[in-house]
């Protein structure tokens, strides 16, 4: 990768303890979001936005098409990780991602129990009506959450560091990435994308993608440790 300086805006995410996983009042909770458990996360830095096409092209010397403010997509997990390492950063753990997305909230969505088209970029409402633009939007086009982060839900799904496990049974509770005994060719993705229903933009929603996936609704954002 080229040593071209690029600007990545980071927001400091405070340490905290939160209940990770699906909630009893959420009718769309599935087994992969359970059992819910208390997790303690250290403070860290989180990218304010997903990495953009412009940032990707400047750093890598690539010439991916599209407006430079759109989130970069069609990037494999290994490519996202290499990009992060080149900038002295990393991918967030799944626990860090959920903590940052919640913004100290325990609600189904970062801003409450319901989702409106102005809140995030998603395509269909729960009745199947088209309410979104049907394509990625420039980062920051929707309101930030309580921690000052944009596009944590909707727009593009995001890679995390974790291997895929089909439940949270025996998952770590210290906020670290779960890299043991999982499926090495599958990585956890979070957040939901521009072509999804609201139920897939819930804070607790999780799924997996093949580590080699290059999907048009899958991107990533960076995290950094806070020096001790």
- Stretches where the chain sits below pLDDT 50 are 1-3
What is the structure's pLDDT at 24?
86
Measure the CA–CA gap between 157 and 117, rounded to whole angstroms: 17
Domains and CATH numbers, the chain: 10-224 (3.90.1580.10)
User: What's the predicted TM-score (pTM) here?
Assistant: 0.96
- Of 169, 149, 133, the C-alpha closest to 96 is 149
The answer, yes or no, to whether the previous bond of 189 is cis (omega within 30 of 0) is no
Burial readout 68-100 (b: 16 or more C-beta within 10 A, e: otherwise): ebbbbbebbbebbbebbeebebbbbbbbbbbbb
Measure the CA–CA gap between 125 and 63, rounded to whole angstroms: 35
Judge residue 153's burial from the number of C-beta atoms within 10 Å of its C-beta, 0-12 exposed, 13-18 middle, 19 or more buried: buried
Mean pLDDT for the chain? 96
What is the structure's pLDDT at 2?
45
Residue 112's DSSP bridge partners are 109
What is the structure's pLDDT at 147?
98
Measure the CA–CA gap between 147 and 91, rounded to whole angstroms: 18
Q: Count other Cβ atoms within 10 Å, centred on residue 43.
A: 12
């Amino acid at each position: 990768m080229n040593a071209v300086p690029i600007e990545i805006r980071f927001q400091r995410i405070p340490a905290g303890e939160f209940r990770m996983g699906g909630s009893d009042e959420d009718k769309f909770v599935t087994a992969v979001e359970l059992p819910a458990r208390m997790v303690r996360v250290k403070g860290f830095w989180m990218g304010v936005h997903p990495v953009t096409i412009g940032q990707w092209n400047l750093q890598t010397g690539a010439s991916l098409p599209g407006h430079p403010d759109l989130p970069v997509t069609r990037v494999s997990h290994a490519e996202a990780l290499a990009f992060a390492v080149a900038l002295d950063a990393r991918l967030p753990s799944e626990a860090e991602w959920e903590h940052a997305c919640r913004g100290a909230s325990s609600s189904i969505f970062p801003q409450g129990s319901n989702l409106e088209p102005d809140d995030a970029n998603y395509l269909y409402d729960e009745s199947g009506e088209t309410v979104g633009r049907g394509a990625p939007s420039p980062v920051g086009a929707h309101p930030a959450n309580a921690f000052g982060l944009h596009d944590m839900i909707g727009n593009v799904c995001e890679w995390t560091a974790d291997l895929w496990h089909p439940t949270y049974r025996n998952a770590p509770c210290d906020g670290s990435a779960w890299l043991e005994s999982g499926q090495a060719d599958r990585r956890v993705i979070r957040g939901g994308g521009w072509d999804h229903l609201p139920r897939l933009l819930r804070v607790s929603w999780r799924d997996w993608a093949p580590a080699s996936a290059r999907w048009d609704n899958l991107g990533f954002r960076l995290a950094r440790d806070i020096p001790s």
